[in-house]
A and B are shown apart, each in its own frame.
Chain A
Amino acid sequence: MYSIIILTVLGIIGMLGDMLPLKRLFLPVTLLGFALAWLGYFFEFPMHTSLFSFDLISMCFGGVMLVITGISVITVYGYGSFKHGSEPPYTVLALMIFATAGGLLMVAWSHLMMLFLAIEILSIPLYVLVGSQGDRKASQEASLKYFLLGAVASCIFLFGMALYYAGTGSFLLGAVHPHSLVGSAGVLLMIAGVCFKAGVVPFHSWVPDVYEGAPTVITGWMAALVKVAAFGALTKMVGSLSYSVWGLEVMGMAVLTMTLGNVLAVQQGSLKRLLAYSGIAHAGYMLLVFLPVTETSITTVFFYGASYALGTLGVFTVIHILEQSGLSATVDALRGLFKRNKTVTLLWCLSVLSLAGIPPLPGFFAKLLVLMHVVKAHHSGLLWVTFLNFLVGVYYYFRLILYPFTGGLSEESVVLSVWQKVGVVILLILTWGAVLFPEFLLSVF
């Protein structure tokens, strides 16, 4: 509970940020608050009540989410100070903190009503943030689209909850086995509701539009946070539900998701759309981990989520820096990046290679874990489908690696503000840390 209380207080401070004295202290206080929020888990660990359960899963996934938002807060703050004279966007920061509180709740529920509330607490700030560039039409359109589809998904989730209650007479998962048809239908609808958030096919249609419409800093943060939160919630859900109810459906969704995501990503010219489709493909790989749920599933999905979050944050930070230098977020905008800023190119290459799964970057271990899980489950057909998908992924990611080294559209060097530099360096350090000490993340479960 401490962590969520601390985040809520921080969010309120952020809301009042424009009026408060000592504005220079805002960033240190926020980051300190995040650290305290994570330490808060240790004071009450483990805590199980009828509504919440703060266990190892919530602590680890929550920690990753706090790191994601911490880095994003630094870069968003840095963006504010880049535009000389303008204040950091305190409201945006506050909404990001509130959404993170929702994300933490999504992995710390034991009552289904709490899960529903958590999804809403995460989603509503996101709807606002996606539309926070009010002067851009794409941003408004994306916000409306996300809100409408998200509302429908929430309804589906609620409906599933109602059916589950009708079938089992309980709001606790796993307490009762959903033998009845009604209960099973409820389970599937709830999984569908969470899969909407994760961007799984066939609930993916919002992903490319929202990624493209949202401001780029928000896109990267959202892509990372929502995926970790949604898969954390799924991990808690599917572990306590019987495989026969949802196994086949999830397998179908996984195959569709990775194949469609990868195939559609190949032809994209817009960087944000390309990454949106590749994000869909990554959701597909992560779904494979639940087929079936074994003791290594949690480790795999946790490591995959963390490495995906790291890669995505890095990639979107670079895209944001590119946009800041006056280019639009197309694949061609990458041309000549190597000559313009080497550190940014290094971050770009490492992040893209990690997403592509090239050793020894963390994304490689994540994919290896997924492959090993599939191997152990003896789905040989699924193994080869996954393998071919990795191949397609490597193809379009290498196109992104190629462009920074070719002749550029612009020759002027890329300038970063101090806090953006800090963000870039933290991302680089975390990437190398994950290369050298993957054991740190792998051994927690």
Chain B
Amino acid sequence: MILLGVILFPFLSAIVSFFLHSEKGSKAWALLSVFIEGFLVFFSAYLYSQAGYLSVEIPWIQTLGIHLHFGVRGFELWMMILSAVVPAMAVVSSSSKRANPGSYYGLLLGMQGALMGLFACANLFLFYIFWELSILPSFFLLMGWGGLRKEKTAVTYVVYSLAGSFALLAGLLYVFMSGGQVSVYGQMGVFILFFIAVAIKIPLWPFHSWQPDTYEQTDHATTMMVAGVLSKMGLLGILKVMLLFAPLGAVFSSDKVIGLAIVSILYGSSLALVQGHFKRVIAYSSLAHMGLMAASLFSGTSEGIQGSIFQMGSHALNVVGLIWIGHIIYERTGTLKLAELGGIRSRSPFLSAVFLVVILGSIGFPLTNGFVGETLMLFGLYSVHPLFAILAGLSLVLGAWYMMRLFQAVMLGKGNSNLPEFNLTWSERIGLGVIMVSIVGMGIFPQPFLDFVTPSSFKESDSSCTQ
């Protein structure tokens, strides 16, 4: 039953939030809500560690045989913890004045509920509903609080997302039509349809062109959600749906998918080198990181999958940290264009130190969270074909390059002489401190987290991938 609470609570508090008007009141409500939700999620993690499996099933539409069926295994719980932590960071980091704060936080909480439902659901029907449901809040957040080019960006975003979910629906219908027993050729077709859906969501090259604009145009809290959790929906879709319903498709096409993912690694890393906007660098670096995670999921080895799941968490943490730092800079200086920034280290050594740690985590420096995941993933890819690992390993080199370039442009140099004071608030200090400590902590003691993401339940997708 606690699972039902975890999923319904954000929706209920979102409804309350829509009726709040004051800036302070709505933020206080949102904070309370994300912390209660965090408590619920961690409590269910505790219950999970006692029982080994959590599930709840109640009838919803009996005429169609549709049940509200939720059940979580280790990696799904890992994603739920992620979608409890990232919205909390998003709410804590929001300090600037917004129009209609109540609706804003309401949509944010609604998105959290949709993600919780997606990660916890145990049947295809609910998977589709929550998949579609997660599109709406992000669309409204982009439309209502986005930047200057929000209209065009929102249309692109929605057209891509809906094309993806229609591909998903087509695949689900095909599975439904064949009564769960999909023929070999059918599995190829279903695999392609599902692949389109997840490749748009992750995103992978060549389905990525919605992503940089969306990152740039959204408000920072929305960017955190999109980059931190929404992108992981696609990877979860691979684990939860693709490998289960089209295992033969995965066997036949895993090389091609890994190839596409490696193209997005190289493409994203190269383009991140030449971007002139803070958030666009993050967008292209995410493209590269997500490509690596997708590639190693399709390696079909337990190291690759384990590393990929671990990396989903660390990537979320790192990217949230980067976006938060970007938001702090934007609030003080009013710009995120790299040409107009510089010399911030002299104003705020603390921010500079945190930025460096987050960057190290993001490029996979030893003793940070990125190192653990990336090493495991490259092991996995190496066992499929050494060439894959070599090409994917280039992402580490290029990553170090573009991240250091970012650090140099933002923090070092002379910069603007009339740079304002960088007085960080306490919530910013604590939040960034927590991110910094967890990046290092996960790098030094990865074992508890790795245990968490390799329960026995995981073997079914593992074996179906390599059979």
Assess whether B177 is interfacial by the CB under 8 Å rule.
Answer: yes
Q: Is B434 an interface residue (CB 8 A)?
A: no
A439 touches B162 (CB 8 A): no
Chain A residues, Cβ within 8 Å of B177: 375
User: Is the pair B128, A359 in contact by a Cβ cutoff of 8 Å?
Assistant: yes
B39 interface hit (Cβ, 8 Å)? no
Q: A299 contacts B170, CB within 8 Å?
A: no
Tell me which residues across on chain B come within 8 A of A390, comparing CB atoms.
166
B130-158 interface with A by 8 A CB criterion: 132-133, 136, 139-140, 143-144, 151, 154-155, 158
Stretch at the interface among A91-99, A398-406, A409-417: A398-406
Contacting pair A406 B151 (CB below 8 A): yes
Q: Is B61 an interface residue (CB 8 A)?
A: yes
Give the chain A neighbours of B162 by CB distance below 8 A: 394, 398
Distance between Cα atoms of A383 and B177 in the complex (Å): 11
Task: Give chain A residues whose Cβ lies under 8 Å from the Cβ of B418.
Answer: none
Q: Is A402 within 8 A of B155, CB to CB? A: yes
User: B63 to A442, Cβ gap below 8 A?
Assistant: yes
- Which residues of chain B are within 8 angstroms of A353 by Cβ–Cβ distance? 136
Which listed residue (A338, A372, A391) contacts B144, Cβ 8 A? Answer: A338
Residues A284-330 near B (CB distance < 8 A):
299
Q: Indicate whether B43 reaches chain A with its CB closer than 8 angstroms.
A: no
B168-214 contacts to A (CB < 8 Å): 170, 173, 176-177
Q: Which B-chain residue is minimally distant from A401 (CB atoms)?
A: B139
Q: A358 to B140, Cβ gap below 8 A?
A: no
Task: From the candidates A342, A394, A438, name the one contacting B103 in the complex (CB within 8 A).
Answer: A342
Answer whether residue B64 sits at the interface, using C-beta atoms and an 8 A cutoff.
yes
B176 neighbours in A (Cβ, 8 Å): 372, 375
A369 to B65, CA, bound (A): 12
Whether A442 contacts B103 in the complex (CB less than 8 A), given A359-B133, A375-B176, comes out as: no
- A residues in contact with B155, CB < 8 Å: 402
The answer to whether A398 and B158 touch (CB under 8 A), given A338-B144, A342-B103, A371-B173, is yes
Given the interface pairs A398-B158, A402-B151, the reply to whether A439 lies near B173 with Cβ below 8 Å is no
Interface residues on A, range: 20 to 34
A387 touches B63 (CB 8 A): no
Instruction: Find out whether the CB atom of B61 lies under 8 angstroms from the CB atom of A439.
Output: yes
Q: Which of chain A's residues 386-445 have a Cβ closer than 8 Å to chain B?
A: 387, 390-391, 394-395, 398, 401-402, 405-406, 438-439, 442-443
Give CA–CA (A2, B346) in the complex, Å. Answer: 85
Return B421 CB to nearest CB of chain A, in Å: 35
Q: Cβ of B151: which chain A residues have Cβ within 8 Å of it?
A: 402, 406
Q: Which residues of B contact A338 (CB under 8 A)?
A: 144
**In contact, A442 and B61 (Cβ under 8 angstroms):** yes
Contact partners of B64 in chain A: CB under 8 A: 365, 368-369, 372, 442
B173→A383 contact, CB < 8 A = yes
Q: A316 CA to B159 CA in the complex, in Å?
A: 26
- In the complex the two chains form, what is the Cα distance from A398 to B159 in whole Å? 9
In the docked arrangement, what's the CA distance between A371 and B144, Å? 34
Chain B interface helix/strand/loop/mixed: helix
Inside 8 A of B63's CB, which chain A residues have their CB?
Answer: 299, 439, 442-443
Which chain B positions have C-beta within 8 A of A359? 128-129, 132-133
A299 to B170, CA, bound (A): 23
Most chain B beta carbons < 10 A, residue from A299, A353, A405, A443: A405
Q: Which B residues are CB-close (under 8 A) to A442?
A: 61, 63-64
Counted as pairs of residues, one from A and one from B, with CB atoms less than 8 Å apart, the total is: 57
Q: Which among B62, B133, B139, B144 is the interface contact of A360 at CB below 8 angstroms?
A: B133
* Cβ-defined contact, A405 with B158, below 8 A: no
Type the 1/0 row for B58-77, where 1 means its CB is closer than 8 Å to any CB of A. Answer: 00111110000000000000
Among A359, A360, A391, max chain B CB count under 10 A is at: A359
A338-B144, A375-B177 known; A391-B166 Cβ under 8 A: yes
Chain B residue total in the interface (Cβ 8 A): 28
Across the interface, do B132 and A405 meet the contact criterion of CB distance under 8 Å?
no
Closest to B142 in A: A405
Which residues does chain A contribute within 8 Å of B143, judged by CB atoms? Answer: 402, 405-406
Task: Collect the chain B residues with CB atoms within 8 Å of residue A375's CB.
Answer: 173, 176-177
Among candidates A365, A401, A406, residue contacting B61 with C-beta atoms closer than 8 Å:
A365
User: Hey, what's the 0/1 contact readout for B102-136 against A, CB within 8 Å counting as 1?
Assistant: 01000000000000000000000000110011001
Q: Which of B62, B136, B173 contacts A358 (CB 8 A)?
A: B136
With A371-B173, A387-B170, A398-B158 already in contact, the answer to whether A360 and B129 are too (CB < 8 A) is: yes
Chain A nearest CB from B301 CB (Å) reads 35
Question: What chain B residues lie within 8 Å of A398 (beta carbons)?
Answer: 158, 162
A338-B144, A405-B143 given as contacts; is B132 within 8 A of A358 (CB)? yes
Kindly list chain A residues whose C-beta atoms are within 8 Å of the C-beta of B170. Answer: 387
**How distant is the Cα of A372 from the Cα of B139 in the complex, in angstroms?**
29
In the assembled complex, the Cα of A375 lies from the Cα of B143 at a distance in Å of 37
Are B140's CB and A405's CB within 8 A? Answer: yes
Residues of A within 8 A of B100 (CB): 342
Given the known A-B contacts A402-B151, A402-B154, are A439 and B136 also in contact in the complex, defined by CB atoms under 8 Å? no
Interface string of A316-360 (1 = CB under 8 A from B): 000000000000000000000010001000000000010000111
Interface residue ranges, A against B (CB under 8 Å): 299, 338, 342, 353, 358-360, 364-365, 368-369, 371-372, 375, 383, 387, 390-391, 394-395, 398, 401-402, 405-406, 438-439, 442-443
Q: Would you give 26 A-B contacts (Cβ < 8 Å), ordered by A?
A: A299-B63, A338-B144, A358-B136, A359-B132, A360-B133, A364-B129, A365-B61, A368-B64, A371-B173, A375-B173, A375-B176, A387-B170, A387-B173, A390-B166, A394-B162, A398-B162, A401-B139, A402-B143, A402-B151, A402-B158, A405-B140, A406-B151, A439-B60, A439-B63, A442-B64, A443-B63
| A-B complex: 8 closest residue pairs judged by Cβ atoms | A405-B143, A442-B63, A359-B129, A359-B132, A375-B177, A439-B61, A360-B129, A438-B61
Known contacts A342-B18, A383-B173, A439-B63; can you find 7 more A-B pairs with CB under 8 A?
A359-B133, A360-B129, A372-B64, A387-B166, A402-B155, A405-B140, A439-B60
